[in-house]
Amino acid sequence: MSEEDLEIDTDDLSRRMDGAMSSLRTEFASLRTGRASASMLEPINVEAYGQRTPINQVGTVNVPEPRMVTINVWDKSMVGAVEKAIRESGLGINPQLNGTIIMLPIPELNEERRRELTRVAAQYAENARVAVRNVRRDGMDQVKKAKAAGMSEDDQKLWESEVQELTDDFIKSVDSALENKQAEIMQV
């Protein structure tokens, strides 16, 4: 067995854990806080020209003021579909039409809704932690296979601690992102 077969690809593990963080950031962006944000529309797709299309591909999304998002729909025939997609998205926003411009006034969040959103954020964070731990398990499995293939005990401990350290760093990042998001949601 060659020396390379006994190496653990920590770059791959790191990239996969980073994917979990990236996914978490996208999910957090879709959570509506009291402030307007163009990213809150990212998860919404519109039935356009026979396929599901992100809103930012059928119009220009702007945030002209802290409590308003506007979408300037390029194709007049798509305005109804975009409005319908927003209404059905579960964002809890009531679109207002003005020609080809759809205005989304962001209402103030009440205390109960804020608490509910912090619970949703916590669930997203837990899903990210689980994804990171799954990557950790794969890394530890790689270490076990390498040990079976002749890796020394010292190298095994070294690689296990490296995989664990990587995992701990990503879990800390998830916790920190959750803390920031919950603070943002609870901010009045």
pLDDT tens-digit profile, the chain (188 residues): 444 556 788 899 999 999 999 999 888 877 766 677 787 888 788 988 889 888 889 999 999 988 899 999 999 999 999 998 888 877 778 899 998 899 998 877 788 888 888 888 999 999 999 999 999 999 999 999 998 988 899 999 999 999 999 999 999 999 999 999 998 888 76
Single out the residue in 76, 105, 134 at which a domain terminates: 105
Any residues with CB less than 8 A from the CB of 110 and at least 6 apart, and which? none
pTM (2 d.p.): 0.68
Contact call for residues 65 and 101 (beta carbons, < 8 A):
no
**117 in the same domain as 99:** no
Single out the residue in 105, 138, 155 at which a domain terminates: 105
Domain around 19: 4-28+110-186
Single out the residue in 105, 128, 161 at which a domain terminates: 105
**67 in the same domain as 97:** yes
Distance CA 12, CA 9 (A): 5
**21 in the same domain as 49:** no
Q: What is the CATH number of the domain that holds 68?
A: 3.30.1360.40
Is residue 71 classed as helix, strand or coil in its secondary structure?
A: strand
